[in-house]
Amino acid sequence: GLELSHCVGTNSLGPAGSWRPGGPCKMKRVRTVFKPEQLERLEQEFLKQQYMVGTERVDLAATLHLTETQVKVWFQNRRIKWRKQSMEQKAAKLSQFGVIQPATADSTDTKDHEEDTVDVEL
């Protein structure tokens, strides 16, 4: 299951989590802290392929002493970062040549990001 820390305290809206479905206490997820060696290997794999699936993901997770979910989420988050950097580079090149981007760039950016950033530890 998820590794969860202590209950989140009360809020200004009333008793702790009384408005939340499923119970009076919301547990906070613990953020995964990767070791430098793990990050280096994950980055190397990302340079080879932006999507890690199946037995490759299982094997990489075992090699790095991580869960498959941790590897999956790291790749999801890294793809989002990569897309954002690509968009920024494209915008910089366009502005260098005096091309003004349309105001709707944000709407296309949102469409491309169907994956949400998630920090989950199993």
Q: Residue 91 belongs to what H/E stretch?
A: helix 68-96
Range of the domain at 69: 36-94
**Average pLDDT of the segment spanning 20-43:** 84
What pLDDT digit, counting tens, does each position of 54-106 carry? Answer: 999 999 999 999 999 999 999 999 999 999 999 999 888 888 887 766 555 45
How many structural domains does the chain have?
1
The CATH number of the domain where 49 resides is what?
1.10.10.60
Give the bridge partners for 27, in sequence order: 7
The answer to the question of residue 49 being in a domain is yes
What pLDDT sits at residue 95? 85
Mean pLDDT for the chain overall: 77
The answer to the question of residue 15 being in a domain is no
Find, among 31, 37, 50, the residue nearest to 122 by Cα: 31
The answer to the question of residue 102 being in a domain is no
Choose between 110 and 79: higher pLDDT: 79
The answer to the question of residue 78 being in a domain is yes
Q: Is the Cβ–Cβ distance between 17 and 24 less than 8 Å?
A: yes
Choose between 2 and 58: higher pLDDT: 58
Q: Residue 70 belongs to what H/E stretch?
A: helix 68-96
What pLDDT sits at residue 110? 46
